[in-house]
């Protein structure tokens, strides 16, 4: 579904060029569960942000469903992001002045009626055990609850792929397990592909495909993450 070919990303600052990604080739297949590990600063988030079509590569190609992505065409990028990609970060990044329900409804496709939007949102919130808090302001949620809302928000338009950047990084072990369970169950239910960047070896080892990123390159696809 997402094919990345000979990808390079270089950041330029006052001190010169910083070559972060150096010739990445990676295919994310439909329904596949991929985990990505690697030392801090090796470019995991940069790679995920490029796969999420949020960051333009310095060179190389990204194909989404066999179509070459043109990073200059903001409108088509926007459409792909909205309809095909679900994004989850370490922090829930909810909009503080809105309720739980409003946060979930906000990214929904504008073609839907308000009634459909509301019932879909409530159904999804119910699935993660949080519909009783739909009218609450998101500021009142715990970290684990907020992350569950963020997952629901990422799912509203039935994405083909869920890209997660350290989705449990800010949670205690109990909430971390719950969020992982939810992500795995979501993949099963919706048949989406799942990509998780993590520093947690236990989570990393759950992946069907485990990718090690180091020194700007994919070092290999590991049986387990002992070596990271
Ligand atoms: N927008 C940017 N401008 C300049 N440098 C950047 C930018 N984004 C990332 N970098 C640099 O690129 C490198 C890789 O960053 P990235 O966030 O991808 O690492 P990471 O593997 O996700 O690390 P971590 O595990 O700590 O989250 C870092 O040295 C970072 O400072
Ligand atoms: Mg990161």
Mean pLDDT on 190-217: 95
Of the listed ranges 67-76, 106-115, 217-226, the one predicted with least confidence: 217-226
Does residue 44's CB lie within 6 angstroms of at least one atom of ligand 1? yes
Mean pLDDT on 3-22: 94
Does residue 103's CB lie within 6 angstroms of at least one atom of ligand 1? no
> Is 33 a member of any domain?
yes
Nearest CA to ligand 1 atom 17: 45
In the chain, the number of structural domains is 1
> Is 156 a member of any domain?
yes
The CA-based diameter of the chain, rounded to the nearest angstrom, is 54
Mean pLDDT on 110-121: 92
Contacts of 6 (CB under 8 A, 6+ apart): 23, 24, 25, 59, 60, 61
> Is 14 a member of any domain?
no
> Is 71 a member of any domain?
no
The Cα–Cα gap between 116 and 101 comes to: 13
Residue-number span of the structural domain to which 168 is assigned: 29-53+82-221
> Is 186 a member of any domain?
yes
Nearest CA to ligand 1 atom 25: 40
Residues 167, 86: contact at Cβ < 8 Å?
no
Does residue 130's CB lie within 6 angstroms of at least one atom of ligand 1? no
User: Has residue 203 got a pLDDT over 60?
Assistant: yes
Residue 111 pLDDT: 87
Does residue 120's CB lie within 6 angstroms of at least one atom of ligand 1? no
pLDDT class for 226, splitting at 50, 70, 90? low
Mean pLDDT on 167-171: 92
> Is 123 a member of any domain?
yes
pLDDT digits (tens, 9 = 90+) for 53-78: 999 999 999 999 999 999 999 999 99
CA of 113 to the centre of ligand 2 (A): 37
User: HEC string of the chain?
Assistant: CEEEEEEEEEEEECCEEEEEEEEEEEEECCCCEEEEECCCCCCHHHHHHHHCCCCCCCEEEEEECCEECCCCCHHHHHHHHHHHEEEECCCCCCCCCCEHHHHHHCCCCCCCCHHHHHHHHHHHHHHCCCHHHCCCEHHHCCHHHHHHHHHHHHHCCCCCEEEEECCCCCCCHHHHHHHHHHHHHHHHHHCCEEEEECCCHHHHCCCCEEEEEECCEEEEECCCCCCC
User: Has residue 167 got a pLDDT over 50?
Assistant: yes
> Is 77 a member of any domain?
no
Residue 162 pLDDT: 97
Mean pLDDT on 180-187: 93
pLDDT class for 15, splitting at 50, 70, 90? confident
CATH number for 106: 3.40.50.300
Nearest CA to ligand 1 atom 16: 43
> Is 18 a member of any domain?
no
pLDDT class for 24, splitting at 50, 70, 90? very high
Does residue 46's CB lie within 6 angstroms of at least one atom of ligand 1? yes
User: Has residue 4 got a pLDDT over 70?
Assistant: yes
CA of 46 to the centre of ligand 1 (A): 6
How big is the chain, counted in residues?
228
Does residue 132's CB lie within 6 angstroms of at least one atom of ligand 1? no
Mean pLDDT on 143-165: 94
Q: With CA atoms as reference, report the closest residue to 29 among 226, 211, 155, 193.
A: 193
Q: Residue 1: CA atoms inside 13 Å, Cβ hemisphere, count? A: 22
The Cα–Cα gap between 116 and 208 comes to: 35
Ligand nearest to the Cα of 20, by number? 1
């Amino acid at each position: 579904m997402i094919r990345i070919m000979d990808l390079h990303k270089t950041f330029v600052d006052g001190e010169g060029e910083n070559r972060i990604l150096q010739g990445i080739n990676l295919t994310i297949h439909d329904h596949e569960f991929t985990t990505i590990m690697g030392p801090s600063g090796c470019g995991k988030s940069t790679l995920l942000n490029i796969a999420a079509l949020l960051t333009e590569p310095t060179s190389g190609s990204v194909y989404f469903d066999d179509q070459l992505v043109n990073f200059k065409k903001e409108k088509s990028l926007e459409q792909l992001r909205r309809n095909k990609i679900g994004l989850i970060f370490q922090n829930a990044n909810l909009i503080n002045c809105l309720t739980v329900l409003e946060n979930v409804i906000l990214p929904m496709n504008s073609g839907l009626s308000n009634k459909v939007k509301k019932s879909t949102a409530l159904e999804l919130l119910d699935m993660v055990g949080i519909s009783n808090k739909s009218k609450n302001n998101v500021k009142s949620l715990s970290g684990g609850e907020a992350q569950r809302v963020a997952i629901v928000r990422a799912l509203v338009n039935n994405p083909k792929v869920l890209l997660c950047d350290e989705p449990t990084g800010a949670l205690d072990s109990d909430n971390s397990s719950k969020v992982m369970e939810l992500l795995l169950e979501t993949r099963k239910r919706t048949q989406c592909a799942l990509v998780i960047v993590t520093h947690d070896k236990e989570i990393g080892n759950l992946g069907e495909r485990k990718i090690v990123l180091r020194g700007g390159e994919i070092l290999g696809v590991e049986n387990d993450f002992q070596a990271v």
